[in-house]
Amino acid sequence: MTTLLWLRRDLRLADNPALDAAVAIGRPVIPVYICDDADAGEWSPGGASRWWLHGSLSALSSEIEARGNRLILKTGPAEAVINELISETGIASVYWNRRYEPWARRRDEKIKTALKGKGIDARSFNAGLLREPWSITTHKGEPYKVFTPFWKALRASGVPEQLKPAPQQIPALNDFAKSDDLNSWGLIPTKPDWASGLRDAWTPGEDAAQSRLHDFTGAAVFNYQDKRNLPGVSGTSRLSPHLHFGEIGPRQVWHTVIASALAQTGSPMPRGAETYLSEIAWREFSYHLLFHFPELPLKPLRTEFSDFLWSNDRNALSAWQRGATGFPIVDAGMRELWTTGWMHNRVRMIVASFLVKDLLIDWQTGEKWFWDTLVDADLASNAASWQWVAGCGADAAPYFRIFNPTIQGTKFDPDGTYVRKWVPEISKLPDKLIHAPWTAKPIELAEAGVELGRDYPAPIVDHAMARNRALEKYKLLKAGKNGN
């Protein structure tokens, strides 16, 4: 008799409750990853996520082999694959860690019910969150829609579960089940190979995640409050893709940050550490919203936005996607995204505000672009964040909060380090002009080797005009006139 370990967004060996439970039984374990995107529909993994998944599975496979077992790769509907493995190998138990996307919840419940009907021990565990989404509620037993009280309730819920190390051995059958070849899944782009920037920027896998966490908690976390909004410096953890794929879990992050803070400052929650852990809590809040409002990725939580008349300016959208809007901080962010599959969080807010409020293009259009290009494309965080910027979600930014990309660039990239890296064609402009090249005198442009419209585009929209236009449409919406 064997135990099937169904791996999904938990691609690690340490702090993996389903793995721990499977090993504890003492029977052989069959670790399997099933490529099953049929139920996800339009939210099947995008190109950048598929690239990361290949690297993550490759790293996990090596770690499992080092412990005397083998990762089995299968393609097809999860229920059919699991039933096939049951018939082939005499499986008595099936364990997995939970996912919270609407289709995953429906699928998992169906599979669990069917397995239990066959007398098979089917169990699911929490590996991806500090607390289950249903366990944090208001005094009325309702879900939270505002972050600050959610964060207070999360902290009041107590210390997250303690961690368990990776098992030294994962008992295996004498004969391994048949497995797909990872390369046959076509996760890595070849024609064309657009992933060179991703390879330069990232190393998927549990070891890389732990290394990144160790480096961040050594010193950077204590300066997080002061540096997290500066895209030109290394002030963030960059753990988001590792968290998304479960190469590291939030409990591991939480306990490591607290331990480091105690060791270095004597306090479990110095300012930088507390601010960083509140960002981990924002991730929790996003899953809380997705669980309780499963249409979050598709529909605005504030229903009055459902009939808002967005623009359909394809040229403007293309300019935004290509990083050719004429606003340097926006273009730098979009080029960083295209090259590395990631974007600094402050810049994500700036580019999202520009798309939704300067260009009046639907937040869902931006959400889907990020879904395909981000290595950390996470359904809950992506949807909640876009709705926040658009003003139509939970704890949303008020409609009148419209980021001025020039002011944002000047404030958070004052010496132009970030812009010069990603928009090199204007790199010779002085600091005072780097975020507003259209304000430069002809002689200043000539000295920097820049001709607007040739070397770098003029702004595709006048921000002041666009701001007023957005405010008027939002006021009409507030008045019940659908922004028309």
Catalytic residues, which ones? 279, 282, 310, 345, 363, 386
167 preceded by cis ω (within 30°)?
no
User: C-alpha dihedral over 104, 107, 108, 112, to 10 degrees?
Assistant: 180
Structure tokens at 423: 């928009």
Q: How far apart are CA 211 and CA 205, in angstroms?
A: 10
- Compute the Cα dihedral for 407, 147, 236, 356 and give only its sign: negative
Residue whose structure tokens are 């909640």: 384
Give the C-alpha distances (Å, rounded to integers) separating 436 from 46, 88, 176, 439, 460.
33, 65, 61, 6, 13
Residue 379 falls in which region: left (phi positive, over 0), alpha (psi -120 to 50) or beta: alpha
Phi-psi region of 148 (alpha: psi -120 to 50; beta: other; left: phi over 0): alpha
Distance CA 165, CA 261 (A): 21
What are 111's two structure tokens?
A: 């599979």
Q: How many CB atoms lie within 10 A of CB 46?
A: 18
Cβ neighbours of residue 313 closer than 8 Å, sequence gap 6 or more: 359, 361
Which amino acid is present at 162? Q
Beta strands 72-75 and 91-97, pairing class = unpaired
Q: Quick count: other Cβ atoms within 10 Å of Cβ 434?
A: 26
